[in-house]
A = this chain, B = another copy of it.
Amino acid sequence: MLNFEFKNPTKIIFGQGQTAKIADEIPAGAKVLMTYGGGSIKKNGIYDAVKDALKDFEVIEFGGIPANPAYHQLLDALKIIKEEGITFMLAVGGGSVIDATKFLSSAALYDGEEPWDILAKKIRTEEGLPFGTVLTIPATGSESNSGAVISNHQTGEKFSMGGPGLFPQFSLLDPTVIRTLPQRQLANGIMDAFSHALEQYMTYPVKAGLQDRFAESIMQTLIEVGPQVMKDPSDYDAAGDFMWCCTMALNGLIQKGVPTDWAIHAMGHELTALYGIDHARTLAIVAGSHYRYNLDRKKAKLAQYAERVWGIVDGTAEEKALAGIKKTEAFIQSLGIETQLSAYTDTYKTAAKEIADRFTSRGWTGLGEHKDLSPADVEKIVEMAY
């Protein structure tokens, strides 16, 4: 096992019928900015429940935050925070709303000229404006970690930020929220969480037995409850397992003491930037070809995965590894998610070269757990995903 440090101070409030509890978690007298997305919370009852819980606080709302939250829109919210003297924020939404709120948390206390520098210059946020979250879409794990991803439409960039100041003070996780989610978002959430577990796990053996088994546990549980959730989002037990898996997949725990890959996420972000494909679906496109391309170096772990997660016990390590990849793709497809780029766009044939060129032009260091996948490797992997 590698040396590590781990601290996650977010308080999780999990279960149904607990929205009123958030009032106890917000400092008395706080002036609250409530952030949310496109307005679905006004149809499914979450908006009303949250507003009722906040009735003793002065609340200003900032809605309309889209998927892949955009820097320049968030500057409007930043202005409100400063002009109104906001002292606490409450993000009511999925990963995009929570990530946007994390940016605002950092920017509110940032004393530089240009808040984009937090992302462009990778400035770590040691302290942020405190905030909580009410999660409405299980997927990203942002409700229990200190990272965020923000897009800048003027520069065409999508960068990540983080730091210990960006953990939510609390997160309310109510599994009943998935009842009104469209099938597409449910499938995306299962895929995103599965990929988080897989990308932190699928490297090479480092004798971190418990981390391996925890990652396998998350994947096994998603494989079990994913189809149940898709079939009946009002199945509370399945929804609860799904929601808790999403949180545990990216709250920092399973990445501690082990190498992590994340090349699939890096390539996927570019597919979203180029084609506007849903984040989770870009991961589905890249995963299979990434593992086939890196079969030799990941063979031992792929075989372990095939054995433990998929029960594939016959064959050589290579045969098991390949069978595990096939099972993974079949699982993704069973969620209604296509695994080839050509299913999403007709102009796919330029993708590999374009993405490789983007990596080259940024002067990025290599991708993957060995940090040695070059733009040429990326080009081949994306090509294999056509």
Contacts and interface: CB of A to CB of B under 8 A. Distances in A.
A15 B5 CA distance: 9
Nearest to A2: B15
A245 B210 contact: yes
B8 A240 contact: no
A109 interface: no
A7 B1 contact: no
A262 interface: no
Contacts of A220: 213
Contact of A14 (B218, B245, B256): B256
Q: Looking at A5, A175, A216, which has the most chain B CB atoms within 10 Å of its CB?
A: A5
A208 interface: yes
Contacts of A4: 12, 14-15
Contacts of A5: 11-14
Given A207-B241, A214-B217, A7 B10 contact: yes
Contacts of A8: 8-9
A234 interface: no
A214 B16 CA distance: 23
A221 B209 contact: yes
Given A207-B237, A210-B221, A237-B207, A11 B1 contact: no
Given A210-B221, A217-B213, A240 B7 contact: no
B1 A6 contact: no
Contact of A209 (B10, B213, B241, B256): B241
Interface in A170-197: 175
Given A214-B214, A217-B214, A221-B213, A240 B12 contact: no
Contact of A3 (B10, B18, B208, B244): B18
A165 interface: no
Contacts of A237: 1, 207
A254 to B, nearest CB: 11
Contacts of A7: 9-12
Contacts of A241: 1, 207-210
A68 to B, nearest CB: 28
Interface string A199-243: 000000001111101101110110011000000000001001100
Interface in A1-39: 1-18
Contacts of A18: 3
A257 B236 CA distance: 13
Nearest to A5: B13
Contacts of A225: 209
Given A1-B15, A213-B217, 15 more contacts: A1-B175, A1-B244, A3-B15, A4-B15, A5-B11, A7-B10, A207-B240, A208-B240, A208-B244, A209-B221, A209-B224, A210-B217, A210-B218, A210-B248, A214-B217
14 contacts: A1-B14, A2-B15, A3-B17, A4-B15, A6-B14, A7-B12, A8-B9, A14-B257, A209-B224, A209-B225, A210-B248, A213-B213, A213-B216, A213-B220
